[in-house]
Every structure is written in structure tokens, then in C-alpha cells.
Structure 1
Amino acid sequence: MSNAHRIIIRPVITEKNTRLNEINQYIFEVAQDSNKIEIKRAIEEIFGVTVKSVNIINVKGKLKQRRTRHGVTRGYTRDWKKAIVTLTPDSKPIDIFEGV
């Protein structure tokens, strides 16, 4: 994959992830077929920071059940890949809420 914006899909913003931002760790949803090297290059290209390390987690979809008039419908949410990016201490912080 060559385009950095196709590799990094979106930042994952939760309370826990906001606390991780204080220690220069940021969490992003990334493309399923990307690897650590591609993610590192994409983060450095998009945000202009220096990446220390990248950890990847494959998140499996959860089972969801919905009741309808015809019984119970079962299905799964989609699988996705999560990347935890750690920046070097001398790197500037990423402003995730810049465009909000």
C-alpha cells in the first residue's frame, strides 16, 4: 500500500486512549492488510512526528443479536485492526482534535 491516508483510517478516541496521549501513545484504526513498517511511515508522513514503536492488535467482531417479528437475527460486527503508536519523547504531540 502506498497511500498513507489509505493505511490510517481514523483515530480511536476513548477515555483510556485520551489518557494514553499524555505518555505519547496514540491509537488508530488501520487497514487490515497493513504492517508495522507501513503504519510507521504513514504516521510520520501525515503528522510529521518521529515514531518509536508500533504495536498491532487484530480486533474480532462481536456477536450481535436482534429481535424481529420473524425471530432472532444473529450476526457479527466487522473485524478491524488497531495500531498503538508510541512517539519518541522529543517528538511533538499529535493534535487529533485539530479539525473539530
Structure 2
Amino acid sequence: MSKVIDQRRLADLIIKPIVTEKATLQLEDNKYVFDVRPEATKPEIKAAIELLFDVKVTGVNTARMPRRKKRVGRFMGFKAQVKRAVVTLKEGDSIQLFPDV
């Protein structure tokens, strides 16, 4: 049973790319890390990356990051929970995260 993926919704699934030391080291293995919406599924993430960046995705790994405590004055709350997606691209494909300067 295949689920039809709404093309208009795909662009909203990807929140932002993650640029950390660990994520930058994974670029050598052709892996890119993105924050995605918590309700996004692996097939939707794959379709969104392929549509937005015109690349071929070979694998998607996801992880739900824990909520972090946030204090504002005397009130304690939580930051929104996010989901991280590590996207592996086909050999030879790449995503340009940093514009040429």
C-alpha cells in the first residue's frame, strides 16, 4: 500500500540544515543532517530532499532529540522537540550548504 505524498507539504517538512562539527565531518561520507518536523516519516523526508535539492537519496536515519528545559524568569518550560534526519546521498551527488564566497 503506497501513500500519496503531497508535494506542497514536502517543503515544510525540512526545517533547517545542522552545521556542527560532527555534522561537518559526516559530509565526507556524503551524509547531511537536517532538523525536520516531528511528524515527518522517512519516505517523506527522502522525497522532500530529492525534490528540494535535486539529488538521489540512498538512506535516511532519524532520531528524536530530547526536549530541553527552558527557563524564562521564574517560569520553567520546555523547548519544542525536534527530529533529526541524517540523509545519505548517492555517490557523486552533493548539496551545497555554504554558498561560494
Checking the alignment, whether the CA contact within 8 Å between 1:60 and 1:78 is kept in structure 2 is: no
Q: Residue in 2 aligned with 1:55?
A: 61
TM-score, normalised relative to structure 1: 0.83
Q: How many residues of Structure 1 are paired with residues of Structure 2 in the alignment?
A: 95
Cα distance per residue 1:15-57 (max 9 Å; x no partner): 1101111110000011121100010011011111111100111
Checking the alignment, whether the CA contact within 8 Å between 1:8 and 1:31 is kept in structure 2 is: yes
What root-mean-square deviation, in Å, do the aligned CA atoms of Structure 1 and Structure 2 show? 1.9
Indicate the SS of the match to 1:44. Answer: helix
Q: CA deviation at 1:97?
A: 1.5
Q: Which has the higher strand share?
A: 1
Give 1 or 2 for the bigger CA radius of gyration.
1
Q: Residue in 2 aligned with 1:35?
A: 41
TM-score, normalised relative to structure 2: 0.82
Kindly indicate whether residue 89 of structure 2 is the aligned counterpart of residue 83 of structure 1: no
Unmatched runs of 5 consecutive residues or more in structure 1: none
| CA distance in structure 2 between the aligned counterparts of 1:87 and 1:95, rounded to whole angstroms | 13
Question: Percent identity between the aligned chains?
Answer: 36
Runs of 4 or more above 6 Å deviation: none
| CA distance in structure 1 between the aligned counterparts of 2:100 and 2:39, rounded to whole angstroms | 27
